[in-house]
Chain A
């Protein structure tokens, strides 16, 4: 059974096309340059042959997520709350201003703060979609949706698609 698949980064691909020559199943030869994962056997010959380093082998299964200390999480979650408030504040100012410069500045701030917050959350127990933490949230939403208009089907579908590595 294959444990990994080849993916091509189009930004790095210099069209040397060695992947076409070495692929035993023709998986790399497609009209949209995206490697056909149904044909890919995970052998890695294309990644080894690629002179541009544009192909990498992505695992199909991921290891359990690294554990975090409670002492760090407590401080990080305080910061996560602040960042969410900052993002909302900036978005509100952007929505209510007539000044195009302020609109752009606050849109930039809201986007920037969101990225910083995603980074904090990634390092605070939500790095892998396959983590037990992620699954606990998805289960909670699937079983007790927070509101009637919550997209509960999305949560259910994610539970089907993503394995729980910490189970």
Chain B
């Protein structure tokens, strides 16, 4: 029996390993990307195995009242959204080697971050429910709209964002279940390109989601070391 990691594609082959997959402990994680055991599943046997997981068409986007409000909605973005919009444009300027412009966009991004109001439900349980919501309805809806429109850029955003959300969801669930022990005496790394998060002493050689090299990962400093 074989089991495939839904994040990085690592294959655990029972016939090549000492311990059958089913007997591995629940705290076992993917040796390549650190994904939880629960994120492994048997390989897809159908020819269309390129289709990303979770795009079950029966589950796809419920019909929604469409576009009418979309343009208007875009012009009424919240401070938190505008902060991300401006830090994205700052990165866009950096890629074009426009450092002065990047700095100005960062200044506006910092302003919007500072005026973003607190969330009323600021706890882990609420955070997990938001992740769950993205995974069950948000991403399938974006994915299906992007597929229909033939928008491959947005489909790529879905592939990466969904995997990153699965990993974050899994790490926060683990924290809720086990407490902080699994994070002691080790580091948390975030891929500066796609946001993939990894727990370990050193970052993975290649990002399992977007495939950039290890030096693109940032170590998350603790409060005292910062």
Contacts and interface: CB of A to CB of B under 8 A. Distances in A.
Contacts of B73: 74, 77
30 contacts: A58-B96, A68-B154, A72-B151, A75-B61, A79-B134, A80-B77, A84-B78, A85-B80, A87-B80, A87-B84, A88-B119, A89-B130, A90-B127, A96-B122, A108-B171, A108-B220, A109-B171, A111-B190, A111-B220, A112-B190, A118-B84, A120-B157, A121-B81, A121-B88, A123-B153, A126-B88, A126-B92, A147-B115, A151-B108, A161-B104
Interface in A1-45: 7, 11
Interface stretch (B6-14, B50-58, B139-147): B139-147
A92 B81 contact: no
Given A102-B180, A103-B223, A118 B91 contact: yes
A165 interface: no
B197 A121 contact: no
Interface string B131-159: 10110001101100110110101101100
A61 B183 CA distance: 47
Interface of B: 61, 64, 66-67, 69-71, 73-75, 77-78, 80-81, 83-85, 87-89, 91-93, 96-98, 100-101, 104-105, 107-108, 111, 115-116, 118-119, 121-124, 126-127, 130-131, 133-134, 138-139, 141-142, 145-146, 148-149, 151, 153-154, 156-157, 160-161, 164-165, 168, 171-172, 175, 180, 183-184, 188-197, 215, 218, 220-224
Residue among B161, B172, B194 with max Cβ neighbours from chain A (10 Å): B161
A94 to B, nearest CB: 9
B92 A141 contact: no
A111 B78 contact: no
Contacts of B151: 68-69, 72, 123
B71 A70 contact: yes
A81 B142 CA distance: 13
Interface of A: 7, 11, 58, 62, 66, 68-90, 92-93, 96, 99-105, 107-109, 111-129, 134, 136-137, 140-141, 147, 149-151, 154-155, 157-158, 161-162
